[in-house]
Amino acid sequence: MPSRVKTLIVDDSAYMRVVLKDMLESDQGIEVTGVAKDGLEAVEQVKSLSPDVVLLDIQMPKMDGLATLQRIMKDAPTRVIMLSAMDEKDDLLPIKALELGAVDFISKPSGPVSIDIINFSDRIIDIVKTAAGASIDALKKARSPPPKRIAAIRKENAKDFRSIVIAASIGGPRALETIFSALPRDFPSPLLIVQHIPEDFSVSFAKRLDSANGPKVVLAADNQRVERGTAYLAPGGKHLKLNWRGATSLMTKLDDSGPVNYVKPSADVLFKSAAECLGEHTLGIVLTGMGSDGTEGTLAIHKAGGKVVVQNEQSSVVFGMPKSVIEAGAADSVLPLEQIPDAIVEFLEE
């Protein structure tokens, strides 16, 4: 990451441009090198200023945020963070932006002109600094077509009740879509997912991931029976756990206790409960993301006899979470993203 993160702010609101500039420049590690009022200006300033990070409003005249993002990623690939007010007409816009190569998105708390955004300055500064360390090569791959779908899994070798638990953070939505696009819809095991994402976007992300037409994806609810062939996404703001009801029914549990590793939901919480419930029948997968969430959980899976796969550095937008697992000695395999679906199938068929 550079010593000072050169940042370009793009927003059609003059008020938001001033507030965001003052907010970011309050941190000595960030330098605002330019501001733009629309997408056309943004594309030109990205070329001329070469910022480390672009803070890009998603709803703008002339050229909206998605079109601007596509132009930037085509002409001068850069780390882009989307600013998004929840749009009731299309709540999938931020998710689409991540799939087009955005690093992350920030939710405007009270609409397009968000007077109270100053209350979230610490989080926004942290996201901008984190984005500066993202791999541009990995972000460019977001524009690549998904891998070929695996035709089928030999169900005669998948009689055990095995589970796949997945952790992801920055770069995770696109990585998860890549995996789910390769897996067959008729999937013989359950999957459980922790993606660090704001609560407001949990429903839309579950819908988007389900549209990949791999295993069915639902937003996890409390006290829900875990079924083969279904993926359960932990909702933002709740930890997801597993427990047994009797000897045959594996159930979900949503936990409202405090953050773990500064995040909620936490992969460690899910992974540890999976290790306790299913032991060697658990495959833990840690994808791109910052920090160490998932490390303690993968150690628990490893100790219980399960397997652990992590995404390699070259295909990760941010290598923090996978690297932490590797350094802890819990990774059985370190693979490029496109090889992880095959590793899932191998685990189920072995």
Q: What is the CATH number of the domain that holds 34?
A: 3.40.50.2300
Of 143, 177, 205, the last residue of a domain is 143
Residues recognised as catalytic: 169, 196, 293
Instruction: Quick: pLDDT tens for 98-153.
Output: 888 999 988 776 555 556 677 788 889 999 999 999 999 999 876 677 777 887 77
Q: Hey, what are 284's tokens?
A: 């833990």
Give the three-class secondary structure for 283. strand
**Residues 251-276: what's their mean pLDDT?**
96
Please tell me the total count of domains within the chain: 2
DSSP for 101-166 reads T--EEEE-TTSSS-GGGGGGHHHHHHHHHHHTTS-HHHHHGGGSPPPPPP----GGG--S--EEEE
Average pLDDT score over the chain: 90
Q: How far apart are CA 214 and CA 231, in angstroms?
A: 10
Same domain for 343 and 297: yes
Q: What is the pTM of this model?
A: 0.90
> In terms of domains, do 205 and 92 share one?
no
Is the same domain home to 214 and 252? yes
For the chain, the 3-state helix, strand and coil shares in percent, each to the nearest 5, are 40, 20, 40
Gap between the Cα atoms of 146 and 143, Å rounded: 9
Domain shared by 225 and 194, yes or no: yes
User: Phi and psi dihedrals of 153, rounded to 5?
Assistant: -120, 135
Instruction: Render pLDDT for 332-345 as a digit per residue (tens, 0 to 9).
Output: 999 999 999 999 99
**Among residues 143, 167, 184, which one ends one of the domains?**
143
User: Per the structure block, which two tokens stand in for 61?
Assistant: 């005249």
Alpha-carbon span 9 to 53, nearest angstrom: 9
